[in-house]
Structure 1
C-alpha cells in the first residue's frame, strides 16, 4: 500500500522518491573497479618506461664497452 501512495505522490510531485541502495552500491563498485583498472594501466605504463630506460642504459654501456675495447 505504501508503494501505491509513493507512486501517487510522484505523479503529483509530493515527497521524495526512495533511494535504490542496491543501485547506488553497484554504481560505487563500478566506479571503484574503473579506478583500479586505471591505476593498474598507469602502473604498467610506468613499468614499461622503467624497462625501456634500463634497456637503453644497457645498450649505451655495451656500445661504450665496444668502443673502448675495439
Structure 2
C-alpha cells in the first residue's frame, strides 16, 4: 500500500507493535492529507490573484501578511 493511500481505518491507537511516535506520524500524515484540498484551493486562489494584479509586489506582500496573521492565531 502506498503511503498516501492509507485510510482513516489504518490509524488506530498504538499497541505493543506500534510506538507512540509511529502513531503520531500516521495521525499527522492523515491530517495533512485531509488539508490537501484546502491547500490546493488556497494556492490556486493566490496564483489567480497574482496573475490578474497590476501591482504584483503588493499582492505578494498582502498574501504573506494575511497567511502569517492566520498562522499566529493558531
Fold shared per TM-score above 0.5? no
Which category describes the TM-score, using the shorter chain as reference length?
0.3 to 0.5
More helix as a share of residues: 1
What is the TM-score when the length of structure 1 is the normalising length? Answer: 0.34
Question: Which entry has the higher C-alpha Rg, 1 or 2?
Answer: 1
Q: Bigger relative contact order, structure 1 or 2, given CA contacts below 8 A and separation 6+?
A: 2
What is the TM-score when the length of structure 2 is the normalising length? Answer: 0.33
